[in-house]
């Protein structure tokens, strides 16, 4: 997987907790990435490919995180979301068993209509 954009696009919409989404295909996501496989600084990791095409529910918007290496608080300048039940399996990171949530840009997601 390799993006090629110099400037990556923002999402045309906001998401809220409880919104249903479909994770876009590899090709759709790749079209939003720069040469570092990032969209506005957030890397799309190979671990996340397995979730392409799946439906999920937005759990929450992420505005800041703690950098585990430095203990520093990092504010996200652009949208980032966690999806209910979508966690990193750790297969490519020395079998990391932490099961942490992946961060998703709205531009990598398709908003679905509410369930009936």
Instruction: Please give the residue range of the domain that contains residue 29.
Output: 20-109
Is residue 54 in some structural domain? yes
Is residue 64 in some structural domain? yes
Q: Is the pLDDT of residue 10 over 70?
A: no
The pTM is what? 0.83
Report the residue count for the chain: 116
Number of domains the chain is built from: 1
Using CA atoms, how far apart are residues 103 and 116, in angstroms rounded to an integer?
Answer: 27
Helix, strand, coil shares of the chain, percent, nearest 5, are 10, 30, 60
Is residue 76 in some structural domain? yes
pLDDT tens-place string over residues 32-80? 998 889 998 899 988 899 999 999 999 999 999 888 789 999 898 888 9
Is residue 47 in some structural domain? yes
Is residue 1 in some structural domain? no
Is residue 13 in some structural domain? no
pLDDT tens-place string over residues 79-110? 899 999 998 776 665 656 667 888 999 999 99
Is residue 11 in some structural domain? no
Q: What would the two tokens of residue 23 be? A: 């994770």
Is residue 2 in some structural domain? no
């Amino acid at each position: 997987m390799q993006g090629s954009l110099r400037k990556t696009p923002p999402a045309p919409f906001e998401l809220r907790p409880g919104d249903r989404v479909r994770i876009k295909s590899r090709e759709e996501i790749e079209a939003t990435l720069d040469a570092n496989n990032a969209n506005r600084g957030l890397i799309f990791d190979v671990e996340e490919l397995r979730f392409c095409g799946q439906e999920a529910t937005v759990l929450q918007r992420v505005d800041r995180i703690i950098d585990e290496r430095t203990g520093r608080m990092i504010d996200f300048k652009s949208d980032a979301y966690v999806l209910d039940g979508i966690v990193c399996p750790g297969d490519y990171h020395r079998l990391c068993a932490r099961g942490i949530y992946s961060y998703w840009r709205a531009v990598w997601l398709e908003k679905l209509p509410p369930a009936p």
